[in-house]
Structure 1
Amino acid sequence: MVSRNDYEWQIFPYDGNCGDYAVTKRHLLLRAGWPSSSLRLAEVVIRKTGEHHLILLVREGQASLVLDNLSGTIIQLNEASDQYVFLRTESGLNPQLWMRGLARS
């Protein structure tokens, strides 16, 4: 039996974890022409449950938005601190570099 490593993400999962969904959203937005610097993954803790979770942060003009597969609502990043504790986020300059907390790039 092959076990699945949490650090391996799938694009277009039939079912999966939050990482699969966040990476798929990022992939689709990249394919639609969004610049990678506007799309950052973020590891958070959901305040209500204490669950570790992966979300996608999308920068559109001056606005930063949170896309979360657990919610059908897109919220502004400045409203997200009520729902999440930000553990680390991708750098907007280098997606291989993760910053502690909420990177403001």
Structure 2
Amino acid sequence: MNFGIAPKDPPATRDDVERQIFPYEGNCGDYAVTKRDRLLRSGWPRSALLLAEVIIRTNGEHHLVLLVRKRRVVLVLDNLSPVVTPLVEALDRYVIVRAESGTDPQRWTRDVAAF
């Protein structure tokens, strides 16, 4: 799926929190919500699929990824990598700023360990 959406920054008129599902082109947020939507449609529980804002260590940019809890492991799905990575390994590349709460998608938390 990383190659199914052409990378493109949102236009200046588009709100930064506005995301599109299944766009032809989009940014990291569009990728993350599309991946989450596909996993939800395939039966994954909402509480196991959380959006997370991270900072990329190499360039300081804010970025959105999808955290997926599978049993006791949290995986990171990221449009910048074709490889699904365990969160413990991804922390070499990212600083987690905040993530959606597993119990309330309207609430974001800095405590990803509780996920």
TM-score range normalised by the length of the shorter chain: over 0.9
Checking the alignment, whether the CA contact within 8 Å between 1:87 and 1:102 is kept in structure 2 is no
The yes-or-no answer on 1:60 pairing with 2:49 is no
Tell me which residue corresponds to 1:75: 85
Alignment counterpart, residue 44 of structure 1, candidates 35, 38, 54: 54
Alignment counterpart, residue 33 of structure 1, candidates 37, 43, 47: 43
| 1:54 partner amino acid | L
Q: Which runs of 5+ in 2 are unaligned?
A: 1-11
Give 1:101 deviation, angstroms. Answer: 5.1
Q: Which runs of 5+ in 1 are unaligned?
A: none
| 1:16 partner amino acid | G
Instruction: Give runs of ≥4 in structure 1 deviating > 6 Å.
Output: none
Q: Once the two structures are aligned, what percentage of the paired residues are identical?
A: 62
Give 1:100 deviation, angstroms. Answer: 2.2
Whole-Å separation in 1 of the counterparts to 2:76 and 2:34: 15
Give 1:102 deviation, angstroms. Answer: 2.7
Tell me which residue corresponds to 1:86: 96
Per the normalisation by structure 1, the TM-score is 0.93
Checking the alignment, whether the CA contact within 8 Å between 1:45 and 1:87 is kept in structure 2 is yes
Whole-Å separation in 1 of the counterparts to 2:106 and 2:40: 16
Alignment counterpart, residue 28 of structure 2, candidates 15, 18, 32: 18
Task: Tell me the matched-pair count.
Answer: 104
1:13-56 CA deviation, whole Å, 9 max, x = no partner?
A: 11111001100000000010000000000000000111110000
Per the normalisation by structure 2, the TM-score is 0.86
